[in-house]
Amino acid sequence: EYLLKGGLLFNDYSLIEQFKTLYKAVIKYMQHEFWYIWVNMYTGLPAIPSVSTLDAFWPSLQILIGDIKSASKTLMNFYSLITHYGFTPELFSLLRGQVQQRSEVYPLRPEFVESLVYMYRATGDKMWRTMGKQVIDSLELSARTACGYATISNVVTHQLEDMRESFFLSETTKYLYLLFSDEHWVFNKGLSDENVTVTEGLDRDGYQICA
């Protein structure tokens, strides 16, 4: 992830070349019907025939390199879990076709919605927003409590855990907001800007002083 994004950010083609080398290995050894399984890092042989909810970030990288078709198929795979369970479990066994034991939790992770943002921005297809709307509906139906949103401790029973990870607010809700935002400044590609002049509340180095 950081090889690709670092290469794009710093215009460093050597980083992108490293990513391309690893990308070929991922496709060769890890891809299974557009899921990506865990493999032995030395041999490339399958280690755990399961997929993680964290893997849902992968389509966003594929979109950045223009592999929209593969990204779309992987997103549809993850969406199939959401339509079945309401959420993506921490681990799903491809061998058994069910949630991995002791991995039924969904701690309100952002990766699937993150990839939806990339896909919608790349294609403009409202189907991806519809998927995001289902994520919101699931959160409202099963994760919302009187004082916020709670971790789903079991995606099968929708039992809640009395906690919430900080990334729900810093990432999951951010990506949901961006998915349905048409004109947010993060999408302007640097083609426009706005100068803001601040004359008060700065220290001698130009940093804003906070009380």
194 labelled catalytic: no
Which listed residue (1, 17, 33, 90) is catalytic?
Answer: 90
Which CA distances in Å does 24 have to 20, 27, 31? 6, 5, 10
Active site residues: 90
